Amino acid sequence: MSTPRGRQSRLTTSRAHSARVYDYILGGKDHYPADAEAGDAMCRHWPALPVHMTENRRFMHRAGRFLAEECGIRQFLDIGTGLPTSPNLHEVVQAAAPESHVVYVDNDPIVLAHARALLQSSPEGATAYVDADMHNPDAILGSQEFQDLIDLEQPVGLMVIGIMHFILPPDDHRLIGQLLDPLPPGSCLAMTIGTADFAPEEVNRVAQEYRRQGMPFVLRDLASATSFFDGLELQEPGVTQAHAWRPGPEQDGVDGRDVAMYGAVARKP
Ligand SMILES: C[S@@+](CC[C@H](N)C(=O)[O-])C[C@H]1O[C@@H](n2cnc3c(N)ncnc32)[C@H](O)[C@@H]1O
């Protein structure tokens, strides 16, 4: 596990952090009072936030399963992993293909502190955790963990789920490009992208609250979300709201106004 010196000392508990706010709203237990306060404020702005976050997480489950079962992908790079919440990506993909490798990446010291739970791989497969920032793709792609677990002769599933709203233009497209660049043809990009298209007032208030709490935040419309997949082959059904992408029975009755995420999977030709 990559743990650059001094990283543990970055842990600041007096201010809210996105991974812990997400954990709080999803009913986890790895957060501090500042995160709970921020989460409560956000839910006052938009009571549907727990539904939205749940559907984002469920998109990750379905997209991971799709890549493992239908695209035959056996190695995954997951950027912005979040705190361990079962099922984690490796549990989803190793249920389909136990030999799968997963490299997790996050920049939050509390995710690092809990990363052990992400390293409980199936015996046939392997998982690793890299403590790195998405703004530094070289640190991710150059890490020992990535090099040990990912064979660049074989396709890779690049998972960028629930993080792009923290990655501001103008760096956003370049960063995705840099992460995709070394991956061979047949690799896939699975992404969710925050939007205010369906509940503009409420979602913009949540965005303001994130910014007020010191977390950069950007929302994108359909055209802007779709542009991340330029040059790639979108898989059916294309870019949809997260809950509407290959929905299962869990999505029955989900109200589209409660989901502020686009999601899609696309293949590198
Ligand atoms: C909302 S959570 C999403 C977790 C998981 N991918 C999911 O969809 O369930 C966003 C995660 O991205 C991480 N994150 C935010 N900005 C990041 C950055 N610049 N580099 C790496 N991770 C980042 C946060 O620490 C947090 O764990």
Which CATH number covers residue 161?
3.40.50.150
The answer to the question of residue 223 being in a domain is yes
The answer to the question of residue 73 being in a domain is yes
pLDDT exceeds cutoff 50 at 4:
no
With bands split at pLDDT 50, 70 and 90, how would you rate the model's confidence at 3? very low
Q: Determine phi and psi for 19, rounding to 5 degrees.
A: -65, -40
Q: Quick check: 245 and 258 in contact, CB under 8 A?
A: no
Q: Cα 93–67–115 angle (5° rounding)?
A: 40
Where in the sequence is the domain holding 209, given as residue range(s)?
12-267
Global pTM reads 0.95
Whether the CB of 80 sits within 6 Å of ligand 1: yes
Residue owning tokens 């999601």? 263
The answer to the question of residue 111 being in a domain is yes
The answer to the question of residue 79 being in a domain is yes
The answer to the question of residue 46 being in a domain is yes
Burial 194-217 (b: 16+ CB within 10 A, else e): bbbbbbeebbbbbbebbeebebeb
- Which helix (H) or strand (E) segment holds residue 265: the answer is strand 261-267
pLDDT exceeds cutoff 50 at 128:
yes
Burial 172-188 (b: 16+ CB within 10 A, else e): beebbebbbeebeeebb
Structural domain total, the chain: 1
The answer to the question of residue 86 being in a domain is yes
Task: For ligand 1, atom 14, name the residue with the nearest CA.
Answer: 80
| DSSP SS3 for 209 | helix
The answer to the question of residue 5 being in a domain is no
The answer to the question of residue 103 being in a domain is yes
Whether the CB of 18 sits within 6 Å of ligand 1: yes
pLDDT digits (tens, 9 = 90+) for 52-99: 999 999 999 999 999 999 999 999 999 999 998 889 999 999 999 999
From 11, 15, 104, 107, the mutation candidate for ligand 1 (largest count of ligand atoms within 8 A of CB) is: 107
Which residues does 214 contact at the CB level (< 8 Å), separation at least 6?
15, 16
Q: Determine phi and psi for 103, rounding to 5 degrees.
A: -110, 120
Between residues 28 and 200, which one has the greater pLDDT? Answer: 200
